[in-house]
Amino acid sequence: MNWTLKKALLLLVLSSLVFAEAGLLAEFGPYQWRHGIHQQSERVFPSKRYDPHPDMDWEFESMFRQDPWSRAAYYAVLGFLAFVDLYLITKVWRSLVHTRPSSRTHRNPDYS
C-alpha cells in the first residue's frame, strides 16, 4: 500500500476514534451537562428534529435515580467501551508513528 495513502487512512481512523471517545466520555457527566453539550452541538451541527419521545433522556435519568444498579450497569458498559476505544486509539497512534516510507521510495544516505 502506498505510504501516503496508509498514513491518510490511519489519520482518518484516528480522528473518528477520538470523536467516538469524546462522545463516550461525555456520557459520564451529569444529565445537565450532557443536555447542555447536546444543545451546543446542535448550534454547530444542526440536524433535522426527530423526537420519537420528547423526554426520553429524562426518563432514563429518572429510571437511573430509582434503580442505582441500572446506572452502575450503564456506566460499566460505557467504561468498557471507552477503554476498548482508548486501546484502539493507542494502537492506531503507534502504527501511525511507526509508519515509514518503503525502502524503495526512500533512501537513507547513511546506508548508501
What pLDDT is recorded for position 103?
Answer: 54
What pLDDT is recorded for position 67?
Answer: 92
Q: Which residues contact 71 (CB under 8 A, 6 or more apart)?
A: 64, 65
User: Is residue 104's pLDDT more than 70?
Assistant: no
Return the ∠ at Cα 96 (arms to 92 and 100), rounded to 5°. Answer: 145
Q: What residue spans define the domains of the chain? A: 3-35+55-102
Tell me the per-residue pLDDT of 16-73, one tens digit each, with 9 for 90 and over: 999 899 888 888 877 777 777 777 878 887 877 766 677 777 888 888 889 989 989 9
Which candidate, 96, 109, 104, 94, places its Cα nearest to that of 4? Answer: 96
